[in-house]
Structure 1
């Protein structure tokens, strides 16, 4: 019997941005706007507490259209940045957390101006959305996700740490407090305790999975860290029987064979297929979040299939899935560690270039700052009990259809997505290209 057990089932994501001086020198969202939005959101929360069956309707009643628009933009962004990153790492496994990246970029976006802001809107697929629409949506989405399911722990934490005596626009800090519930603190970056203070926050926000993010010393140009942490703890609604797990070969994307452990079950499951894929949905907890595994047909390149992915196709895949009897599922037990990679090129390919140059306009934060780099690292474990995943993204602002057979046998590369089932937020997205024994 296989005795491997999962003690902690949690994906988490860290996004950090370090702001420092550069050669560059408006800011349209006001503190009054953000305070009014926070008041509306808080009122919705009070209403929602009366009846759990009505809580979601009450929470989103005044901002439902805004939420839908931002989720649509974030989903478009998720597939676009996933495809851009996959082009750079077509011969490797890939893993990102689109929601965490979107949230952290949205925090920074509050202080962007001029053409820098326009390019960020293009990259994040926010064109046509005013900043109040975006903030109303996040002000509702974040509490919703934190309370998505009593059987699933999904934590989203934000913080801003800036060098003491450095003049940061107070409106920028207040909006991040109001909308993103950010912890804001000025500290002495030259002190030995600064690293420990920030790393302690990181460890707490990730339940100890990521004990530290920074190493001493902090560069003298650094003036600010903006951090988003996404923490998920779940367990399959229906776990796999470990006694059925077996050894077998996985055909990698390089047409090599690796011996791995497969999990197995035959049961009534959420299963679907289309003209070039099969898909399975594996829920966590009470079903409010789930992992989707998408297996392109044999002969269809995993990378070619990823190029074809977009929000429309994602919706078609989800709609094709239905509760089906006697589904045979064989899925690898796998562990993927991805990165550390830079997201600069991927974001630039989506239209966000100026933010990385000394002439960037982040005057809503402070004059003369720009993004130097945004790095990303991620890890995921999938086994008989559930999923454990973590990701770190650090950004530096420096100066033909086969007949149905009801089988999902993933013995070759496949795509996986962890999603919120209520609103459609994509939490994690990855490509299993080359697996080894785990």
Structure 2
């Protein structure tokens, strides 16, 4: 492989990751792409499991560079938002046309040397090699957060499993079952809408009420368009459930206090006072034939209710957000972390190890349109927005 680092055998910058954050770092960062090596196990967004599902963000919010025509080229004419598959293609092509070199490999370790860093790689074919760099940017994205141990023992799955099985044409896991989805955001709401047609009933257990954007919330990370389906089903199912003919899938939304699994049962508790809003008032005890609950502590228990489902007839889906992923190794393991699991960094994405930077989910940036490249050459402004270096022939190695 031809390398174009500042001196033979060493790269000016290695970007670890093959998703949107990596593409933004390469195309909008302060190091010319010709001096950058991208190392990733796979090129493309980490949300590829969504398949043909339409993303909630508009095309203009998802741009990786100052060239919107590149995203439009992979979208169907007239669409405002790309599908996950279309966006995955866009991310791949954005990296391939950037001018950076790309190596498909897993980073097994990152160590410091006298001049910068040594990265130990393993290719898909099992070949091990090392690359050398002045600086490193971790742009490795995130993965769905795993459920607690008691729920895993009861068979709980993460929400991406639902999308993958639907993409394979299978609904057997939850067909005719009670479904309990733990999560407050768009992932929980949208997963509920996908599972509802085949499930016996669906209960969304949230730790807080998010609300629809922009009617109920000004937070652009609140529920957006695809979540509207689950929102409407909650209201309609409370009115339809138990009536003949019963044509609307039963979906409930509760702000809950606890969710546990023990003795072959799934249990959750909630308070009436936390569920007085639009969705909660349609989901508490007595609202539909699936809301079988009993008071905890008697009539004076401040509206505390408990519901129970048999574990062998219930599927628990964990949709409680994502957690950043990092390459293994002593150096990355020693980096200071914030309470949310992201690495401690300054406003320029610099960690406490000189030359080691983070961007994207690793830096607490929640979406593409708030992802900014790390400044790897000090507090010097890189290319202006919309400007990019020339685009030489791409180089890819395995």
Whether the TM-score (by the shorter chain) exceeds 0.5 is no
Bigger fraction of residues in strand: 1
Larger radius of gyration: 2
Higher relative contact order (CA 8 A, sep 6+): 1
Bigger fraction of residues in helix: 1
TM-score range for the pair, normalised by the shorter chain length: under 0.3
TM-score under structure 2 normalisation?
Answer: 0.23
